[in-house]
């Protein structure tokens, strides 16, 4: 079913995607990105991806995201530097950001939270735990 809006057709799927949370995944490993995309899409999220910090910064300037998952070790600008810049942009100070990283030693979680991330997920991803964690970001 479609509707006319401002002389343009908007399908029901498009309207639905406008109400679903939009997530930006920043990950340079394409296999990891594909896994995260598949999981998030299965949970009903709209998902966009960037492969480095610079690309993520450009994307948030053109689109608003409800959640950002950011790898730490990225080519060029690392995840910590990128998230600091993103959080300084209008409308992004309160957007939840999650460090998605292979750094899983004692103290790493605290280090990333102190750097400005709101949460932390260690790689390799525990799929059931990740799915449960992402459920809290779904809009009601």
Q: Report, as an integer, the average pLDDT of 94-117.
A: 90
Burial of 87 (0-12, 13-18, 19+ CB in 10 A): middle
The pLDDT, as a whole number, for residue 137 is 84
The pLDDT, as a whole number, for residue 80 is 96
| Per-residue pLDDT at 12 exceeds 60 | no
Q: Report, as an integer, the average pLDDT of 121-127.
A: 93
- We find that the CATH architecture of domain 21-128 is 3-Layer(aba) Sandwich (3.40)
Specify whether the CB–CB gap between 60 and 38 falls below 8 A: no
pTM above 0.75, yes or no: yes
The pLDDT, as a whole number, for residue 13 is 46
* CB burial readout 2-25, b (16+ within 10 A) else e: eeeeeeeeeeeeeeeeeebbebbb
First to last CA, the chain: 23
Percentage of residues in the chain having pLDDT higher than 70: 86
**Domain range list for the chain:** 21-128
């Amino acid at each position: 079913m479609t509707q006319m809006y401002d002389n343009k057709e908007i399908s029901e799927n498009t309207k639905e995607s406008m109400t679903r949370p939009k997530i930006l995944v920043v990950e340079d490993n394409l296999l990891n990105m594909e896994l995260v995309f598949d999981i998030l899409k299965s949970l009903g999220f709209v998902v966009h991806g960037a492969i480095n910090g610079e690309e993520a910064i450009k994307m948030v300037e053109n689109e608003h995201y409800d959640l950002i998952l950011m790898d730490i070790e990225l080519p060029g600008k690392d995840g910590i530097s990128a998230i600091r810049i993103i959080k300084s942009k209008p409308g992004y100070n309160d957007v939840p950001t999650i460090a998605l990283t292979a750094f899983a030693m004692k103290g790493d979680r605290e280090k990333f939270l102190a750097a400005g991330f709101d949460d932390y997920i260690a790689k390799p991803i525990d799929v059931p735990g990740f799915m449960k964690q992402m459920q809290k970001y779904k809009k009601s």
